[in-house]
A and B are shown apart, each in its own frame.
Chain A
């Protein structure tokens, strides 16, 4: 009986672990709205060139290599290679009229999507520092 109970507890823990890679790449384990909230922040800077410069500086200071920059679409692709792990990110900057810019970052850690809010929070903290 105790063994069965332990097995149930273990199964519960395993199901609660949300860092397994998705079998279907089109389906995320998190609702899209929640994912967008997690990955997006708004900043008061309206100059898109300055925003992209700050994003590049931030990524570079975090050991990311800038692979591609598309100024027109405000898109930056970067990769970080360290300790036998590969982290890939996309950062998109979108102007919000004359109110500022919306910045969204999404990433993959090896084969797993990054769902950790703390990870994105750390990025935005570093970005705020470079945008101020």
Chain B
């Protein structure tokens, strides 16, 4: 009786592991396919990321965009006026965490388990409890913001379409990547387009 229970338990464990492995494999493939798919989320974001500018001078537009990015402390890494491409980034230092007994204690918002003592909610890792002595705990030390600009001729009217894409990456003090995401707040893109409109003295038309 006990032997048959053990065998059943082993087989069910094996089955669960097999399903988990296959699911993991499929989810990786799905993620890869999703990276190259025109999803509804991507389509809906196009409108907030793009504006049409009524000018026939691509170089003027490109220089205005570079000026706007420089105003925002971005470093221009790539610029191609013929194909209408700009890539820039900037790094910002995150606030140093409060340290108690050699460990940061105020990283609740960053999704890092709170060391030191007390109970904390660690985002990805669930609740954590400790009384100190955890050793070195990683914390977010810098954020890299990258911005990609693509300028294409407007298809059904004169002028050019400017598209901004902003992505953020948080890095830990160990140098490892902690998180990466696309900036989806419309006001961030709106501010960039407003600044660009002022710089080129042109009206920006929503698509």
**Chain A residues close to B by CB (< 8 Å):** 2-3, 6-7, 9-10, 13-14, 17, 19, 49, 52-53, 56-57, 60-69, 71, 80-87, 109, 112, 114, 116, 118-120, 122-123, 126
Q: How far is the CA of A56 from the CA of B80 in the complex (A)?
A: 12
| Residue from A19, A81, A114 whose CB has the most chain B CB atoms within 10 Å | A81
Contact partner of A14 (CB less than 8 A), chosen from B21, B36, B150, B179, is B21
Known: A3-B7, A60-B163, A82-B180. A122 touches B33 (CB 8 A): yes
- Known contacts A9-B18, A122-B37, A126-B36; is A19 also within 8 Å of B28 by CB? yes
Q: Min CB distance, A88 to chain B, in Å?
A: 10
Interface mask (B23-62 → A, CB under 8 Å = 1, otherwise 0) = 0010011011101111000100010000000000000000
B83 close to A116 (CB less than 8 A)? no
In addition to A3-B10, A9-B18, 18 A-B residue pairs with Cβ atoms within 8 Å of each other are A6-B18, A56-B84, A56-B150, A60-B163, A60-B165, A62-B37, A63-B165, A65-B148, A65-B167, A66-B148, A67-B87, A68-B78, A69-B83, A81-B181, A81-B182, A116-B29, A123-B36, A126-B38
Which B residues form the contact surface with A (CB < 8 A)?
A: 7, 10-11, 14-15, 17-18, 21-22, 25, 28-29, 31-33, 35-38, 42, 46, 77-78, 80, 82-85, 87, 146-148, 150, 152, 163, 165, 167-169, 177, 179-182
